[in-house]
Chains A and B, each alone.
Chain A
């Protein structure tokens, strides 16, 4: 019961988070490009310039952690990374590597101090982010609005289970209980007969 209710909460939160991130990213792209090409045209676009490096880093890290948790719990067909890797074309892989490099440079600059290991860290971070992005793209492409239906069915199931439990508390001899008692009784008889036969022999 508790597990099902947690899963229900998790799925409802997922319904809000995924469209929200897509809308936010599209808005961010639109505002920044408009601010670059037509500076001072949109007043809302100037607010993006006030965001500092640390703000961006914290935002990116928050989304990365959130999506790692979501992907870990939600991908039921936990595919191997090598199977997924072959599904992508070479073009797509190269673009994803560049994207992962851009983000890893941002994260390393803010979290770790500048040392002679910074390049090694950057390479490691790009690899980790590249693997994450492959899973992320797989998750986003398989995400459908059919989840609404599954959530609705889960809700009905929860209600039915709740009602069943209430009934069982009130009535002792349900059908299941009767069957259980009968089986136990019959087994005892069989066991006693076997025992008697053994003793007799």
Chain B
């Protein structure tokens, strides 16, 4: 295994463990976050997506996957899981929009350099 990937994996492990402990303790000092656990999990994975630089095609598949899962859970009357999946679809769609805006800015900058 390459050393750069090793460093990234170690940092993700540290970050995920610390963030999950921060969530489980429920009374953190200074910031009192009152959000649902699913949204917290989504926010927790944002820095990791930033760290690994995943291509846009793979990120675009996330909402589709979650949407299929919502249908699957609603068919078997598992409404709690289905609600969580809907939340994740919405949040992943928001992520795609933000990502596209950032890409637009990058394209504009590159065009200016060529001009």
Residues of chain A touching chain B, judged by Cβ–Cβ distance below 8 Å, are 22, 25-26, 28-29, 32-33, 36-40, 48-49, 51, 53, 56, 60, 88, 91-92, 94-96, 98-100, 102-103, 105-106, 108-109, 114, 118-119, 122, 133, 136-137, 140-141
Is B21 a contact partner of A102 (Cβ separation < 8 A)? yes
Structural contact, A102 and B18, CB atoms closer than 8 A? yes
Query: Which chain A residue shows the least CB distance to B13?
Result: A25
Question: Which residues from A are CB-within-8-Å of B80?
Answer: 39-40
Chain B residues within 8 Å of A, Cβ to Cβ: 3, 6-8, 10-11, 13-30, 37-38, 40-41, 47, 50-51, 80-81, 84, 88
Given the known interface contacts A51-B24, A141-B6, the answer about A36 and B14 at a Cβ–Cβ threshold of 8 Å is no
Asked whether A36 lies within 8 Å of B38 as measured between CB atoms, the reply is yes
Of A29, A38, A51, A137, which is within 8 A of B81 by CB? A38
Q: What are some 5 contacts across the A-B interface (CB < 8 A)?
A: A100-B18, A102-B22, A106-B25, A118-B29, A141-B3
**Closest Cβ of chain A: how far from B23's Cβ, in Å?**
8
| Partner among B14, B22, B41 whose Cβ is within 8 Å of the Cβ of A136 | B14
Contact (Cβ within 8 A) A37 B13: no
Instruction: Give chain B residues whose Cβ lies under 8 Å from the Cβ of A37.
Output: 37-38, 41, 81, 84, 88
Are A119 and B30 in contact, with the CB atoms below 8 A? yes
CB-defined contacts of B27 to chain A, threshold 8 Å: 53, 109
Q: Which of B21, B22, B41, B84 has the most CB of A within 10 A?
A: B21
Residue of B8, B25, B41, B81 ringed by the most chain A CB atoms within 10 A: B25
Contact of B22 among A38, A106, A133, A137 (CB under 8 A): A106
Q: Which residues of A contact B10 (CB under 8 A)?
A: 136-137, 140-141
